[in-house]
């Protein structure tokens, strides 16, 4: 009986996790990047991104990168 309960709990957690990642697909990035907001210069391009690509990206988000676009 206890093994069935444990199995149901594990399946419930897996299904809940799949639902969360289905409805919020970028939550993994948000969790990973949550501590980086104040630790680096947001105007500098991240590794693997050219300056032109980063400037294009910033132009799509003027409310976030307003100090970089001046």
Same domain, 25 and 48: no
What is the pLDDT, as a whole number, of residue 23?
A: 92
pTM over 0.85: no
Residues 15 and 31 in one domain: yes
| Average pLDDT across the chain, whole number | 85
Same domain assignment for residues 50 and 69: yes
- Split into its structural domains, the chain has a count of 2
Residue range of the domain that includes 54: 40-70
Residues 16-50 as b/e (b if ≥16 CB within 10 A, e otherwise) read eeeeeeeeeeeeeeeeeeeeeeeeeeeeeeeeeee
The percentage of residues in the chain with a pLDDT greater than 70, rounded to a whole number, is: 89
Question: Is the same domain home to 33 and 64?
Answer: no
In terms of domains, do 57 and 68 share one? yes
Calculate mean pLDDT across residues 30-58. Answer: 80
């Amino acid at each position: 009986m206890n093994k069935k309960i444990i199995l149901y709990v594990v399946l419930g957690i897996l299904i809940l996790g799949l639902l969360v990642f289905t409805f919020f697909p970028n939550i993994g990035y948000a969790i990973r990047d949550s501590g980086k907001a104040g630790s680096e210069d947001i105007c500098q391009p991240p590794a693997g991104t050219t300056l032109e690509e980063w400037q294009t990206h910033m132009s799509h988000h003027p409310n976030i990168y307003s100090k970089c676009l001046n």
